[in-house]
Amino acid sequence: MIPIIRKQNMPSGAIFSLLLALSIHQTLTADVPPTVVAVETSSPPASPVTPGPPERGSYNVTNGSDTVCLLARMGLQLNISFISSSHGKTVQEVLNLHPNLVKSSGSCDPDSATLVLSEDNINLTFSFSLNTTSNKYHLSGLELSAALPDMAKGLVFRNTTLNYMVGTLGHSYMCQKEKILSITQDFSLNTFQLQVQPFGVNGDFGAAEECDLDEDDMLIPIIVGAALAVLVLIVILAYLIGRNRSHAGYQTI
Ligand SMILES: *[C@@H]1O[C@H](CO)[C@@H](O)[C@H](O)[C@H]1NC(C)=O
Ligand SMILES: *[C@@H]1O[C@H](CO)[C@@H](O)[C@H](O)[C@H]1NC(C)=O
Ligand SMILES: *[C@@H]1O[C@H](CO)[C@@H](O)[C@H](O)[C@H]1NC(C)=O
Ligand SMILES: *[C@@H]1O[C@H](CO)[C@@H](O)[C@H](O)[C@H]1NC(C)=O
Ligand SMILES: *[C@@H]1O[C@H](CO)[C@@H](O)[C@H](O)[C@H]1NC(C)=O
Ligand SMILES: *[C@@H]1O[C@H](CO)[C@@H](O)[C@H](O)[C@H]1NC(C)=O
């Protein structure tokens, strides 16, 4: 991916123009205006306006004796489709959980833990499982019961065979970027700035295990850094070679 220049005596002028071309390219691309998001005004409001990213909440579950046994902080956004009673057709609704309105509860057992978040007309239950052989945990189930004003009747979306947020006992699972968790055909959960630890909590979060998305994010600065290092090396080499040459030139005179 990084072009490695094997030519030993590449003239420094060429390198200079290469650098120049790179910087010009950068300024050009920086000037490209951002794509304008088209606002649809003609179509009927089948899918209402998407709210902004949700606020991050902090939710703890304490065991009988006031010891915290589950830690979670995350922003949560529900994306559900259901038949609207007023429109008489399927609508897509995206709604954020509001940490200041959410009541949290839950329970902890040796190999399972639940976190229940309740707001107005919504109950959202996270079920975590711990495999005591491999000492790995994961989000194994999620249930949303919702009774939104536009629903003809309350609905339940449930999946008990999930495999999300896989972490190691004693560690926390972290995903800073938005992640879309598909739960059922009609319900997906979007998580933001998430960090959870459903087992082995010792006062605070354990060392974080990052999700793939975050690791990909780390890769970009590493690649850019490596490319820059190579460029600097080339320039230094060219300078040294150039200096040696002119030095040799003076000697022959
Ligand atoms: C909600 O889900 C629908 C259907 O899966 C998808 O097209 C849409 O982009 C989602 N919206 C958000 C904000 O996640
Ligand atoms: C929480 O308490 C229950 C009994 O009340 C106990 O069985 C369980 O091991 C405790 N869990 C933790 C994580 O302390
Ligand atoms: C727990 O992990 C072990 C070892 O990875 C595996 O063999 C076993 O099937 C797992 N148990 C469950 C209930 O998933
Ligand atoms: C949420 O749970 C509470 C307590 O179990 C219950 O009273 C309420 O009806 C539930 N709400 C929905 C929308 O299912
Ligand atoms: C539950 O989630 C799994 C894994 O994402 C998926 O394969 C399965 O179809 C889902 N089940 C239901 C009832 O939506
Ligand atoms: C949850 O626990 C963390 C760490 O112990 C603490 O900083 C935070 O204030 C707690 N949040 C709530 C809502 O109790």
pLDDT in tens, 91-124: 999 999 999 999 999 999 999 999 999 999 999 9
Residue nearest to atom 14 of ligand 5 (CA): 184
Mean pLDDT across 139-167? 95
pLDDT of residue 248: 60
Confidence band (pLDDT; 50, 70, 90) for 143?
very high
Q: What is the pLDDT of residues 30-61, one digit of tens each?
A: 444 444 444 444 444 455 678 899 999 999 99
* Alpha-carbon distance values, 126 to 25, 83, 102, 142 (Å): 48, 25, 14, 5
> 145 CA to middle of ligand 4, Å?
8
pLDDT of residue 197: 97
Mean pLDDT across 228-249? 84
Residue 22: is its pLDDT beyond 90? no
Mean pLDDT across 153-163? 96
Residue nearest to atom 2 of ligand 4 (CA): 123
Which residues, other chains included, contact 139 with Cβ-Cβ below 8 Å and sequence gap of 6+?
126, 127, 128, 162, 163, 164, 165, 181
Residue 23: is its pLDDT beyond 50? no
Which residues, other chains included, contact 68 with Cβ-Cβ below 8 Å and sequence gap of 6+?
60, 61, 62, 201, 203
SS3 211: coil
> 131 CA to middle of ligand 3, Å?
6
Does ligand 6 come within 6 angstroms of the Cβ of 205?
no
pLDDT of residue 232: 92
Which structure tokens are listed for 102? 């959410």
- Helix and strand element counts for the chain (H, E): 2, 13
> 12 CA to middle of ligand 5, Å?
59
100-139 exposure pattern, b = at least 16 Cβ within 10 A, e = fewer: eebebebebeeebbbbbbbbeebbbbbbbbbeeeeeebbb
> 130 CA to middle of ligand 3, Å?
10
Confidence band (pLDDT; 50, 70, 90) for 14?
very low
Name which of 149-158, 170-179, 238-247 the model is least confident about. 238-247
Helix (H) or strand (E) run with residue 54 in it: none
> In the chain, where do the E strands start and end?
56-63, 67-83, 90-96, 103-108, 112-119, 122-131, 136-146, 155-159, 164-168, 172-175, 179-184, 187-197, 208-210
> 123 CA to middle of ligand 4, Å?
6
pLDDT of residue 47: 53
Residues of the chain with pLDDT > 90, as a percent, come to: 62
CB atoms under 10 Å from CB of 50, counted, come to 13
Q: What is the pLDDT of residues 190-214, one digit of tens each?
A: 999 999 999 999 989 999 999 987 7
Residue 128: is its pLDDT beyond 80? yes
- DSSP string of 60-115? EEEETTTEEEEEEEEEEEEEEEEEBTTTSSEEEEEEE--TTT-EEEEEE-SSEEEE
Mean pLDDT across 221-232? 88
- Residue 223 has phi, psi (to 5 degrees) of -65, -45
Confidence band (pLDDT; 50, 70, 90) for 249?
low
Residue nearest to atom 3 of ligand 2 (CA): 109
pTM score over 0.85:
no
pLDDT of residue 152: 87
Does ligand 4 come within 6 angstroms of the Cβ of 156?
no
Name which of 21-25, 47-51, 145-149 the model is least confident about. 21-25
pLDDT of residue 242: 87
> 59 CA to middle of ligand 6, Å?
7
Q: Among 60, 63, 114, which is best to mutate for testing ligand 2, by the most ligand atoms less than 8 A from CB?
A: 63
Highest mean pLDDT among 60-69, 156-165, 237-246: 156-165
Cα torsion angle, 138, 96, 119, 90, sign: negative
Does ligand 4 come within 6 angstroms of the Cβ of 115?
no
Q: What whole-number distance in Å separates Cα of residue 59 and Cα of residue 103?
A: 9
